[in-house]
Structure formats: C-alpha cells, structure tokens
Homo-oligomer: A and B are copies of this chain.
Amino acid sequence: MRDSSRSVSFWQQAVDLLSDICGSTHVLTDTDILYTYGQDETLGLHFGFDILVKPGNAEEVSSIVKICNELRIPITPRGGGSGVTGGALPIKGGVVVSLERLNRIIHIDELSSYVIAESGVVTAALCERVEQQGLYFPVQPSSKAYSFIGGNVAENAGSIHSCRYGTTAQYVLNLEVVLPTGAIIWTGANVPKNATGLNLTQLFVGSEGVLGIITKVVYRLIRRPAHEVTLLAGFTTIEDACKAVLAIRQSGFTPAAVEMVGPEALRITAAYLSGPLPLVKQGIEAHLLVGLQEDTENALLHAMETVGGVLEKYAAEPILVGTTTLEKERLWKLRFSIGAALSSGGRTYRDIDISIPLSLLYPYLAKVEEITARYQLAVAYFGHALDGNLHTMVMLDQDLDTEAGANAAQAVNSIYAYAIANGGAISGEHGIGMLQKEFMKNQFSADHLALAKSIKHVLDPNDILNPGKIF
C-alpha cells in the first residue's frame, strides 16, 4: 500500500526534507529495495510504503520524526526484520526508518558489567564482542545472526535460555529513545539497582515501536559460564516428556535450557532433514533438549547427575550427552531445524506464542490436541517447556474464506481462550504486532486497554509511530 491520497509533489518534498537530514544516499524510493523492507518474517506478508530512510544517529532520527509528525506521515521503525508478528511491517505505508547504520558498540564496562551500544547492532555481534571480555549476554534469540538489539528490546525477545536467565527485559538498564515529538531522552541509569521515578525503561521495553524509536541500549551483562553440555532425552509420549519437565522444576535445579519437541514437529523435521538423527526412531514421540551451563566442572557434574537422573525416570532410551561443539550441534540439529522444516513445501503455520503457568503444561497440550483434532487441523508444537512457552504452530494451508479457514480461526481462538482463562499470556516472546492484536481484548479488560491506549496517545497524539500495532 503506497499512499495514493497524497500527491507526487508531497512525497518529493518529503524526500527532499529527509535528504537534508540524512544525505540523499540514505533516503531511498527504489521499488526493489523498498520491497525488501516491506516484509519481515510474518506469514509471507508484504506491505508497500513510500520512503526508506537510514539515519546515522539519534539526532537524525529525531529530525526525521519531527518532519514526519509535522507532515503526518506514518513511521515504521525497523531493526533486523526478524519479527514474526508484523511489528516491522509498514501497514500504513509512509516512511520506514531502518536503524541499520546505528551499529556501534560504544562502551563496555567490564567490572560494572554493562555494555552501551546503538540499537542497530546485530545481536550476535554484541554477544561475541562482550564474550571477548569474559562477559555474557544470555538472551540470544534464534535470529541472533541478523536480529538487532533494538528490535530485541522493542519485542522483549526471549531465547532458549530464558528459563534460567529471563528475557531481554531483565537485562535492559537504560535506553536512549527518540519520542514521537522528536525529543531524545535517556530512560534510566546504567546501574542494576534503580528506584528513581517512573520506570520509563520498562515502559519502552516490549513497546514494539509504538511509543518511541530506541537508538541506544544499555544492557546488564553476566559472567560467561565456563562449562556447558547438552542432554537429549527421548520419550514414548508427550505426557512423559511433560512429567520430566515438571520433575526438573521440582528438583530445584534450573537448567540453562529445557526445550521440547512435540510429535508432529519431530516427524516433520526428521523427514525434512532426512538421514540418521539421534533418538529419531519408532516409538519416540517427543524430545527434551536440556542445556547445562555452570561455572565449574563439579557444578556441571552435579547438574548432569540431577537433571540426568530426573530425565532417566521418564525417558524411553538412555540419555545422550553432548560435550564437544560437534556433539552438541548434532543433538541440537533437529530442534534448530524445526522452523525451516515447517515453512518448507509452501506450508504456512500460525505461531501461537502462548505462555502458560507451568503446572498446566500437559493439560494445555492435551487441550491443543483436542481442539485441533476437533477441527481436523495439523498442529506442531515445540519450544521453551520450562517457561511454559511452547510455540504451537497451527497449519493454515487453507483459504481463510473457506469453511476450513473459518475452522482454523476458531481453533486458534479456542487455544488462546484456554490460556487466558488459566492465567496465561497470549504472547510469551514474539509480541503482539499486527498479528495478535485481535486477542488483546480477550487478555485484558476494557479499562486496561483504555489506559494503555491513553499512554500511547499522550506520547504520540497524531498516531505517527508504528500505527496499527498492538492496539
């Protein structure tokens, strides 16, 4: 959708004004280039827009926002484009602001354990850089090779390690943000303990670009754990796998990762990869992958004994242990290929990113199986089992206007309803974006949503910034 309600000369004027700010090489209108920036990783969706701008610093972002606000041009901020709920899709056209040139790591304070970096730094680049100093940023989403840290903050990204280390939110100390007015603020301070005024930092974390454009991030870091192993366990039933997850919780020990692969995800991914894979065989319906990260060999041995003992009680086969990089990669291979496998062959899945209280792990999956069976839909689930945050992928290979499409929508609704009724959240780590916003009214009361909207309105009265998202 390009905005045809405005004249060619209006857009030419906008291009000129933006070129004055960033230099004309960083203001683009070429159709091919804009096509790439009109999509992210959401269901193959694409939106047309009018101007792509690549500012070089926060001051340029500020000037862009002021111009767009004055001319009432919608702005969609964009990081690495790895989102799966449409947070970076320019659904109202207008200007896309790509943060790709804000890619400097500014300062690492090793003793105080924080890093200051611009929001367009690639997640993996930041992780590698801090690891050179023995530090560790533990929330590394699977998109880390190309996602930007600003996008991670804007979506409050999770990772396979969130069960132990938490999500992005727990690491954000301070943010530099350009407000919809063009004002540039720092939200907090560079310290882990802070009780100074309203927590604007956490208001911007997870705000999906609707309240401001993040230009710098101050992340708290931890020491890099020295030792790491992977365990892989196979189970006869998903119920046994769930029992093992709950038993890990009850052991009192929290591994660095507890990832589940459900029956359909296992079958599809094994077929997609072909060739022999560990614990892929008749009678194995589910996998658990457990990551252990400890500071000492003794602690690692203790962790292996504790978790291994729990897994053995429920597993169908001996537990596999990966200690070398190659061994670990072999064990994780199937888990990390699920995304590619599910999207192969032109299939489309709706990723239900629900987060539920852990005690409901098996009841939730049983409910999902029941609902999808009722509507004759394929469902593949996998993910962050100890967080109660499973990616529940419902296959949508039907035209939504058909009866089958209506059934799929009804099934998705029923799954969300179960989670909400039981204290869960409709998004654990992917955000609301444009894809899940219809369910916000189920999650929250009218008074809650009115308050959230009024906060959006007070920051962005002209609804310039990432319009059509969350609300």
Contacts and interface: CB of A to CB of B under 8 A. Distances in A.
Contacts of A223: 252, 254
Contacts of A451: 179, 183, 185, 200, 459
A162 B206 contact: no
Interface residues of A, number: 93
A193 B447 contact: no
A8 interface: no
Interface stretch (A12-20, A27-35, A428-436): A428-436
Given A197-B444, A206-B198, A113 B425 contact: no
Nearest to A358: B112
Chain multiplicity (copies): 2
A170 interface: yes
B429 A470 contact: no
Interface string A209-235: 001000000000001101000000000
A447 B184 contact: yes
A132 interface: no
B427 A194 contact: yes
B445 A186 contact: yes
A365 to B, nearest CB: 15
Contact of A193 (B191, B224, B425): B425
Nearest to A204: B199
Task: Report whether over half of chain A's contact residues are helix, strand or loop; otherwise say mixed.
Answer: loop
Interface string A188-208: 111111111111101101110
Interface string A443-454: 111011011101
Contacts of A184: 447
A357 B447 contact: no
A253 interface: yes
12 contacts: A110-B359, A185-B444, A185-B448, A185-B451, A186-B445, A193-B384, A193-B388, A194-B355, A194-B428, A198-B211, A200-B451, A202-B205
Interface of A: 109-114, 134, 155-158, 162, 166-167, 169-170, 179, 181, 183-200, 202-203, 205-207, 211, 223-224, 226, 246, 249-250, 252-254, 295-296, 298-299, 302, 353, 355-360, 384, 387-389, 423-432, 440, 443-445, 447-448, 450-452, 454-459, 470
Given A158-B193, A183-B450, A197-B443, 20 more contacts: A111-B246, A111-B249, A112-B359, A134-B252, A158-B195, A166-B192, A169-B202, A185-B444, A185-B445, A187-B448, A189-B355, A189-B424, A190-B423, A191-B357, A191-B389, A191-B425, A192-B355, A194-B355, A197-B440, A454-B458
